Amino acid sequence: MNTDPRSLFVHALLHEHNGGNPIVIDQDILSDYDNKVRLKPCQWNGCTMHIALEHKHVAKHFQQRHGINTSATSEEAQKMSCLWLGCSDAQMKPGNIARHVLSAHLEVKWNCLTCGKPYTREDAFRRHTQEKMTCQYAKYFVSYGNGVIKIDTGCIAGGWSAGQNVLCIP
């Protein structure tokens, strides 16, 4: 978490008021969601924030809060280890971290409504509809695994919500 004095102050207030650590999220999430947003705790290298379960937001979070160049996928990009709690995966390019985290750790899956098969990426589901005749008009639903927290961004004013115990940090 960043340590601007206002965030720390509100964090302490919320903790006091609710008797537990607030859910800390990136302020950017608010501009993309009008009401419900699904979150899970980020378990990257001791991070204490929550992240929205969408590739764009995972990538932004890793760029902003963990200093990872999430567009580095070129041949020359140095591979790095995943620092997610308990991850034993091989090294990967920084540009592939957000995808990896979304599927391996946040458990976001695209499920074919026709045959029931789960896919870890939307493009893999698209490929499936092109390759399997009986699924060519299939729709999908996205599943999010266990431990999802839903909050209502419409009830967050001034960067925090006492009722939901949520704090947004800039």
Contact predicate 94/68, CB 8 Å? yes
DSSP state of 101: I
C-beta of 25: minimal distance to Zn ion in Å?
10
C-beta of 131: minimal distance to Zn ion in Å?
10
Residue among 77 and 162 whose Cβ is closer to Zn ion: 77
Residue among 140 and 160 whose Cβ is closer to Zn ion: 140
Residue among 4 and 89 whose Cβ is closer to Zn ion: 89
Residue among 61 and 156 whose Cβ is closer to Zn ion: 61
C-beta of 167: minimal distance to Zn ion in Å?
14
What single-letter amino acid sits at 107? E
Q: Which long-range contacts (CB under 8 A, 24 or more apart) does 51-55 make?
A: 51/25, 51/26, 51/106, 52/25, 52/26, 53/102, 53/106, 53/108, 53/144, 53/148, 54/102, 55/98, 55/99, 55/102
The residues that touch Zn ion, with contacts defined as CB under 5 A, are 42, 44, 47, 49, 82, 84, 87, 89, 112, 114-115, 135, 138
Among candidate residues 74, 77, 73, 26, the one with its CA nearest the CA of residue 54: 26
C-beta of 20: minimal distance to Zn ion in Å?
19
C-beta of 124: minimal distance to Zn ion in Å?
11
Q: CB 28: neighbour CB atoms within 10 A?
A: 15
Residue among 47 and 59 whose Cβ is closer to Zn ion: 47
Contact predicate 148/40, CB 8 Å? yes
Q: How far apart are CA 97 and CA 84, in angstroms?
A: 10
